[in-house]
């Protein structure tokens, strides 16, 4: 069927330079067209995440068909296979047309890709967020390291010092409201201009601490605090421009005092500062409650000692008349002394446990459903930092089944503004499979619509405290039994 045609070379009159030009040109075009699909296929296999892979395959087929067409141009110089050449060109035309149609829906998607400038801006924002989180973690670690091993007055002194140095503010103050002076606040520790100051007592009325205690919520005055509270003349000494205060609350939401900061310029990152102040306001409130409990125990010990002295005096007066009763009462005294020693020993163990405890910090981004667990948080449960991912679901998975619903309800109540502060005791599963008691405290932040956007808090290991409480209850039970015994003897 090809005998009726003449080779294409006749059109060039078989002039060697002209034939050679076409042969060399078509050969190079064929070689280039064959190499391009190979490069595209190699690139596609190396980048499995590459979008629009189908278009790459269509382009490869289209370019390969074009290269074969040029190869047949060389062939038809000596062989008149024009039907075969035309069929190949028809196939190339179909592939080309289909490729053009396939490009139409792809173009809007390709145009929607972010530009390198936008990607660079996003990367810068991400780097800034990572840097901010690392800075906050370092700040929390520094403060916890400085306050984790001290109690009592040393704790308050260390807390104001480390907060002032970490947040780089002019003044940090912890003040307590006492029953003796309900209209005033007495400072427990004040760090101002790089040094510890003497404690003072100042009126609540007219100070920025007044709305904090009245509303039992944090207060942030970004600027002009002296103009808003002109009666608080002490702020003039440090040229205060902004104020941030958090209430110290007990479990019944009663105000114990205030933790506040003053600075002479606006804060760079007030939300982060507020989160940090919230965390350590809860820690300071816990220390105040611990001191009150310790004072109550000391008073109980004094009362017990006084009771023993009175009982001893009565025994001495009745020695000659009630020898048998005297022996019984002396035995009771010895038992009471032993019980007191046991209680004191238990209290010492509890104190050592509190001093040796380490708190864990968590920070929950409710909008993005992201959470951060500090290394201390994971160490409480026996895990290394890389053994627990920062996943919000991990928390409830580790909570004891019997406590899970209570914990869920407490979180929901706080996020729905039914409780001013989140505080819950429950058990969590450790790495070894055992359960450990922790005390969780936290504070949420709400946007202008009332939706919670963030919640931060801490976990405290209270497992040893739970054991100590059990021992104290047993001691108290024995004491009540012993207290009832002498009355039965005298009756």
- Multiple choice CATH, 146-286, 3.40.50.720, 3.30.70.890, 3.10.580.10, 3.30.450.40: 3.30.450.40
- Which among 268, 251, 228, 280 has a CA at the least distance from the CA of 422? 251
Give the whole-angstrom CA distance, residue 236 versus residue 232.
8
Q: Order of strands, edge to edge, in the sheet holding 370-373?
A: 370-373, 360-365, 452-461, 435-446, 422-429
The full set of domain ranges for the chain reads: 8-111, 146-286, 292-355+470-490, 360-461
Which stretch of DSSP H or E encloses residue 24?
A: helix 16-46
Token representation of residue 353: 């446990």
Give the whole-angstrom CA distance, residue 343 versus residue 473.
10
pLDDT in tens, 345-381: 654 553 444 444 468 999 999 888 899 999 889 999 9
Using a cut of 0.85, tell me whether the model's pTM lies above it.
no
CATH 3.65.10.10 fits 360-461, yes or no: no
Domains 146-286 and 360-461 share a fold: yes
- Which among 163, 273, 171, 169 has a CA at the least distance from the CA of 218? 273
Contacts of 280 (CB under 8 A, 6+ apart): 143, 147, 159, 163, 259
Can you give the pLDDT of all 491 residues of the chain as single tens digits? 445 678 887 888 888 888 888 889 888 988 988 888 888 888 878 777 777 777 778 888 888 888 888 888 888 888 888 888 888 888 888 888 888 888 888 888 777 777 778 778 878 888 877 777 777 777 777 787 777 788 888 888 888 888 888 888 889 999 998 888 888 899 999 988 888 889 988 898 888 898 998 998 999 888 888 888 888 877 887 788 889 999 999 888 888 899 998 888 888 788 888 888 888 888 888 888 888 888 888 888 887 888 778 877 776 777 667 777 667 777 778 877 876 776 566 545 534 444 444 689 999 998 888 999 998 899 999 999 899 999 989 999 999 999 999 999 999 999 999 988 999 999 999 999 999 999 999 999 999 888 999 999 999 888 888 888 878 888 888 888 887 765 544 44
DSSP H stretches of helix in 47-115: 53-78, 82-111
Question: Could you tell me if 207 and 313 are in contact, meaning their C-beta atoms sit under 8 angstroms apart?
Answer: no
Give the whole-angstrom CA distance, residue 436 versus residue 54.
55
């Amino acid at each position: 069927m090809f005998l009726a045609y003449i080779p294409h070379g006749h059109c060039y009159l078989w002039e060697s330079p002209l034939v050679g030009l076409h042969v060399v040109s078509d050969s190079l075009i064929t070689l280039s067209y064959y190499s391009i699909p190979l490069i595209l296929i190699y690139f596609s296999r190396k980048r499995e995440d590459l979008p629009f892979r189908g278009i790459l395959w269509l382009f490869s087929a289209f370019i390969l068909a074009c290269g074969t067409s040029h190869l047949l141009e060389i062939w038809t110089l000596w062989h008149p296979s024009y039907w075969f050449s035309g069929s190949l060109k028809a196939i190339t035309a179909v592939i080309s047309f289909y490729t053009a149609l396939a490009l139409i829906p792809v173009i809007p998607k390709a145009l929607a890709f972010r530009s390198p400038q936008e990607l660079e801006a996003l990367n810068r924002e991400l780097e800034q967020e990572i840097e901010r989180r690392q800075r906050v973690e370092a700040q929390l670690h520094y403060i916890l390291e400085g306050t984790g091993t001290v109690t009592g007055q040393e704790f308050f002194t260390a807390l104001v010092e480390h907060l002032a140095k970490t947040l780089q503010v002019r003044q940090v103050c912890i003040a307590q409201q006492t029953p003796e002076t309900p209209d005033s606040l007495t400072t427990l520790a004040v760090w101002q201009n790089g040094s510890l100051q003497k404690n003072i007592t100042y009126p609540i009325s007219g100070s920025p601490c007044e709305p904090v205690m009245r509303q039992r919520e944090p207060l942030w005055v970004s600027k002009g605090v002296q103009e808003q509270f002109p009666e608080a003349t002490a702020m003039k000494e440090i040229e205060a421009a902004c104020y941030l205060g958090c209430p110290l609350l007990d479990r019944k939401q009663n105000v114990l005092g205030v933790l506040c900061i003053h600075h002479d310029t606006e804060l760079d990152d007030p939300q982060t500062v507020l989160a940090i102040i919230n965390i350590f306001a809860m820690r300071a409130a816990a220390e105040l409650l611990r001191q009150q409990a310790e004072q109550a125990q000391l008073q109980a010990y004094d009362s017990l000692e006084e009771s023993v002295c009175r009982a001893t005096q009565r025994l001495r007066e009745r020695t000659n008349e009630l020898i048998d009763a005297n022996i019984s009462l002396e035995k009771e005294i010895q038992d009471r002394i032993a019980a007191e020693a046991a209680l004191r020993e238990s209290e010492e163990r509890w104190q050592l446990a509190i001093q040796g405890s380490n708190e864990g910090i968590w920070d929950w981004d409710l909008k993005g459903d992201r959470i951060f667990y500090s290394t201390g948080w994971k160490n409480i449960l026996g895990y290394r930092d890389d053994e627990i991912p920062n996943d919000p679901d991990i928390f409830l998975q580790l909570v004891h089944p019997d406590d899970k619903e209570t914990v869920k309800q407490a979180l929901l109540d706080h996020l729905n503004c039914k409780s001013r502060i989140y505080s819950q005791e429950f058990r969590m599963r450790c790495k070894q499979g055992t359960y450990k008691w922790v005390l969780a405290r936290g504070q949420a932040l709400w946007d202008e619509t009332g939706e919670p956007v963030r919640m931060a808090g801490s976990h405290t290991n209270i497992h040893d405290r739970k054991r100590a409480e059990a021992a104290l209850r047993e001691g108290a039970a024995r004491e009540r039994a012993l207290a009832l015994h002498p009355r039965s003897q005298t009756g």
